[in-house]
């Protein structure tokens, strides 16, 4: 089982993650090493300046779909969905939290929006701790 991080940008996608009404993320490239049963963590950035970040979902990957997708997702090649493990509607994240600062500097600020973070032990521990999820 691997852990993945996905960034959902309200600015880019033009809607909120909650508007999807399911645990799902989209990708513009093939994720050959993403396997059924992997964990996907979804962090959303809002339209504020500076951007506010929220942990909006964590789900176990179960299904992959192919285009065509709705207009706002028409540029994407794959849709990954699954069963949510997060019981909260959203958990605010701040760059003052060391593990989130690390995630932000290594991925968000470098525009790496869909990545395997299995090697990021502190980040995974922080995500598990803040979410209350037990895996």
pLDDT of 42-59, one tens digit each?
A: 999 999 999 999 999 999
Domain boundaries, the chain: 3-118
- pTM score, whole prediction: 0.94
SS (H, E, C) the chain: CCEEEEEEEHHHHCCCHHHHCCCEEEECCCCCCCCCCCEEEEEEECCCCCCCEEEEEEEEEEEEECCCCCHHHCCCCEEEEEEECCCCCCEEECCCCHHHHHHHHHHHCCCCCEEECCCCHHHHHHHHHHHCCCC
Q: What is the pLDDT of residue 13?
A: 82
pLDDT of 72-106, one tens digit each?
A: 888 899 999 999 999 878 999 999 999 999 999 99
Q: What is the pLDDT of residue 87?
A: 85
For residue 32, what pLDDT band results from cuts at 50, 70 and 90?
confident
CATH code assigned to 3-118: 3.10.590
pLDDT at 109 over 90: no
């Amino acid at each position: 089982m691997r852990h993945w991080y996905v960034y959902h940008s309200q600015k880019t996608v033009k809607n909120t993650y909650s508007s999807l009404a399911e645990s799902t993320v989209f990708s513009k490239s093939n994720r050959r090493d993403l396997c059924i049963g992997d964990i996907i963590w979804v962090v959303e950035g809002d339209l504020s300046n500076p951007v506010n970040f929220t942990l909006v979902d964590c789900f176990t990957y179960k299904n992959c779909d192919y285009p065509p997708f709705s207009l706002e997702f028409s540029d994407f090649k794959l849709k990954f969905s699954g069963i949510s493990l997060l019981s909260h509607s959203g958990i605010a994240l701040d760059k003052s939290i060391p593990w989130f600062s690390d995630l932000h500097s290594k991925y968000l600020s470098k525009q790496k929006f869909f990545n395997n973070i299995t090697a990021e032990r502190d980040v995974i521990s922080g995500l598990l701790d803040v979410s209350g999820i037990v895996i």
